[in-house]
Amino acid sequence: MPAPAEFLKYIDNNADKFIKRLADAVAIPSISGDATHRKDVFAMAEWLNGQLKQVGVDTQLVDLGRHTMDGEDLPLPPAILGRIGDDKSKKTVLIYGHFDVQPANKSDGWDTEPFTLAIDEKTGRLIGRGSSDDKGPILGWLNVLQYHHENNIPLPVNLRCVFEGMEESGSEGLDELVQRESLKGGYFEGVDCVCISDNYWLNTRTPALTYGLRGLSYYKVTITGPARDLHSGVFGRTVHEPMTDLISLLGTLVSAQGDILVKGVDDMVAPPNEEEKAIYAGLNYSISDIEEAAGASIALSDDKVSVLMGRMRSPSLSIHGIEGAFSGAGAKTVIPAKVSGKFSIRRHPLVIAHLEKAFAAIGSKNKLTVENLHGGKPWVADHRHWNFEAAKKATKAVYGQDPDLTREGGSIPVTLTFAESLGVNVLLLPMGRGDDGAHSTNEKLDKSNFLEGSKLLGTYLYELADVQK
């Protein structure tokens, strides 16, 4: 059944209120990967829990225990479980989102304060950390629920929701919660399908549905040597320097052309069949799209299918940064005593053995430590399932065009856990565009995507109620 016309008008008529609520959410710096902001992640959980209650969701905050981060013992932020409806004649859909965000400082290169939502009236961009990843999409669901609550209109489906505050740091504690609540008598018993809005269109023009994720393993490799930082004028060319070892080691991982140098990784991914290649070839995407999103003409290839497979299904390895090195302004002639390199690999890794072998080949007297900080498993769903069919119809109804079928290069760690624990189809239904810049400076969500995306989420629920299993 189509979504009520009154619902679509309601979203437009309440745009300013919805944007104000997004501004309130962005203002809470809920950075899960920074211990100094753990209190803000808790504050975000309390704020979101209050918002859900106001629109009629029966909620509970679930303690996920504690964990160690950078040597500090910390409480994990609570997960929020919510529910509306127990009508046996209706389908039951589980929605997921996360309320934590990546770190952000204006000094990183932001044009505005990252935790103050900036509204660019000329472009319609809503700029702020978390606007697209993933506070905007969560609030899209809230916009849908607010319409039904205020107008005393029952939802067309039963709703279950789970929102977490550790997605950007590996979703610690969530897998166990999902597995436990998926058992008979658990909170998720009776769920027919899952919908996650935590990804993006492939471009800026065409809405998308996503049916696969590459997964992620994030590593920290540390080299330690002298007992303290040393003066290079005194100790240069007299000792094994940790920074030199680290740079050499990182250079053994990936080539400048993006080829992974860790033997066996590429062999662990089955080649695409002709049907899959045809999907890539038919996507509304070009090399100029990726270069426009990157802000420079730096694509690895001029072949569209090759680039898309490099983004969506082939293993990739990225080096993210070095900890412990001098990075301030000016010159400092120090030999760091301890440095750590951070990198991630998208797909099944064989990296620890590679790093140990490569370090042994250096012949250094320094010490190597490798840590796997967090990760997410790869996942692929059936895009012909009725859950996807409902989303396709909803997309056509809201945007007037069929969605692209995409696989994402990123990772949403709990996706496969939902699929395996519940044994149901999982759909990724994005709100944002391919140029939103999640995890980057000047992250944004277009106002049109926030509003039309809210309409899409609501329309999906109505199409879901009508589609045949």
Which pairs count as long-range contacts for 353-358, CB under 8 Å and 24+ apart, including other chains?
A: 354/252, 354/253, 354/262, 354/263, 355/221, 355/249, 355/252, 358/248, 358/249, 358/252
72 is annotated as an active-site residue? no
User: CA 68, CA 53: separation in Å to the nearest integer?
Assistant: 31
User: CA 234, CA 5: separation in Å to the nearest integer?
Assistant: 76
Q: Which of 469, 378, 453 is nearest to 141 (CA)?
A: 453
User: CA 342, CA 220: separation in Å to the nearest integer?
Assistant: 5
Catalytic residue among 100, 134, 245, 463: 100
β-strands 334-335, 425-428 pairing: unpaired
Q: Are 131 and 26 in contact (CB under 8 A)?
A: yes
User: CA 387, CA 378: separation in Å to the nearest integer?
Assistant: 20
Residues in a beta bridge with 68: 73
Q: How many CB atoms lie within 10 A of CB 183?
A: 11
Q: DSSP characters for 153-216?
A: ---SSEEEEEEES-GGGT-TTHHHHHHHHTSTTSTTTT--EEEE---B-SSSS--EEEEEE--E
275 is annotated as an active-site residue? no
β-strands 125-127, 334-335 pairing: unpaired
Q: Which pair of structure tokens corresponds to residue 277? A: 């290649």
- Distance of alpha carbon 336 from the chain centroid: 33
Q: Buried b / exposed e across 111-146, counting CB within 10 Å, b at 16+?
A: eebbbebbeeeeeebbbbbbbbbbbbbbbbbbbbbb
CA distances in angstroms from 452 to 2, 26, 431, 446, listed in the order given: 15, 20, 8, 10
Cα-Cα end-to-end distance for the chain: 15
- Distance of alpha carbon 10 from the chain centroid: 29
Name the packing angle between helices 135-150 and 5-13 (round to 10°).
120
Residue tagged 């899952």 (tokens): 194
Which amino acid, residue 140? G
Q: Which pair of structure tokens corresponds to residue 89? A: 């004649």
Catalytic residue among 134, 164, 167, 436: 167
Residues noted as catalytic? 100, 167
